[in-house]
Chains A and B, each alone.
Chain A
């Protein structure tokens, strides 16, 4: 799965599970940043990230190890898509 395809899946998750507006999700690109407080981000907080992790685990069949610091993978759609791609290929 290439990053673009992963982004499409993530957009769907943002609408269905994180309750983002459909149009808002359509505007998101690989460059869009995620965490609250980062300029231009979509403003996700710790609880949003847990929800996102559960959805990613369910959708991509990977396990997110919460004992490791995953912060750097959750910076933008790009970093997240790369992380997911690497993990699905490793599995």
Chain B
């Protein structure tokens, strides 16, 4: 089984766009949440044809993927895989496609928009942009899609199915979606938008090319906890945290910090606390909720993993934790650079 290291990060979010240095500066700063990505964030990251042909969410994904690859010191490469998490996909294009028909009949249908109605459109566009020719997956999940994608990608690298994977997620948020969600009785929470990727490589491959390692994903696990669809569960026993710690050769007492998925959805946030209390007790390591700065979106998984990898202050490995209404539940154990390379 290969050890899986993080060798690059790229994020395009409201408060921060860039690679590891930008993420580091963001973590050292503070401020109110910035939930929307400014259009200037994409300047220089998509070419003229991409700006014409790709929908905004695809552009967010392409831009973050390019930043992550550059951060990792890699060019576009044939040996690359891609795992993208998304909760909503390209809602704007889907509505525009449908409205074209409703307003003008079959002649109003757009062939260019149709592929965007399928949620793998971001993966397709990104795979073309960075020449990712191994597996390219789109995982759709409530709230925690980015963390789930990173867990799945970690398993693929660990098992040797692929040497390098861009893993993370993307979501777009706008007024139409906000209205649909509110109408549908979704819980109020701080939602944001953006894209984020980490580049995961096997330690051997990373060392052979002299990569600058940010940290290691030493354990990754995902399970469902019993809950009704879109509801929170009563059960707080986590098999994912236990499995991820076990894989990392760590115990609950070792965890130095928890990067939680809390985003202002009261019942879900309380459920997450109950799960963490039960899994880690008697320890109560400090926590950080990145959504308080960015709003919750599928790009956050990569930001949390990079933040955990860059965190030199907390002793012990970090736990990146995420749980969604309905019970999808992800645990990632991340060691920072010093610890990742310490016992090589």
Contact = CB atoms under 8 A, between A and B. Distances in A.
A19 B49 CA distance: 10
A19 B53 contact: yes
Interface string B107-129: 11111100100000000000000
Interface in A46-71: 47-48, 50-51, 54-55, 57-58
A13 to B, nearest CB: 12
Given A18-B52, A19-B52, A20-B52, A51 B110 contact: yes
B111 A50 contact: yes
B209 interface: no
Interface string B70-106: 0000000000000000000000000000000000100
Nearest to A53: B111
Nearest to A57: B107
A21 B48 CA distance: 10
Contacts of B110: 17, 51, 54
Given A19-B52, A43-B49, A58 B107 contact: yes
A48 B108 contact: no
Bin chain A's interface residue count: 10 to 19
A51 B112 contact: yes
A55 B110 CA distance: 9
Contacts of B112: 17-19, 47-48, 51
Contacts of B107: 54-55, 57-58
A55 B109 CA distance: 9
Nearest to B112: A51
Nearest to A49: B111
A28 to B, nearest CB: 14
Contact of A58 (B49, B52, B104): B104
Contacts of A58: 104, 107-108
B305 to A, nearest CB: 35
Contact of B111 (A19, A20, A54): A54
A7 B108 CA distance: 21
Interface in B17-53: 49, 52-53
Interface in A13-37: 17-21
B150 to A, nearest CB: 31
A19 to B, nearest CB: 5
Contacts of A54: 107, 109-111
A19 B107 CA distance: 17
A51 B52 contact: no
Contacts of A50: 111
Contacts of A21: 52
Nearest to B115: A47
A14 to B, nearest CB: 10
A47 B110 CA distance: 10
Interface centre among B52, B109, B115 (most CB of A within 10 A): B52
Contacts of B49: 43
Interface string B140-168: 00000000000000000000000000000
Nearest to B108: A58
A7 B122 CA distance: 34
A19 B58 CA distance: 15
B104 A51 contact: no
A90 B3 CA distance: 69
28 contacts: A17-B110, A17-B112, A18-B52, A18-B112, A19-B52, A19-B53, A19-B112, A20-B52, A21-B52, A43-B49, A47-B111, A47-B112, A47-B115, A48-B53, A48-B112, A50-B111, A51-B110, A51-B111, A51-B112, A54-B107, A54-B109, A54-B110, A54-B111, A55-B107, A57-B107, A58-B104, A58-B107, A58-B108
Given A47-B111, A51-B111, A51-B112, 9 more contacts: A17-B112, A47-B112, A48-B112, A50-B111, A51-B110, A54-B107, A54-B109, A54-B110, A57-B107
Interface of A: 17-21, 43, 47-48, 50-51, 54-55, 57-58
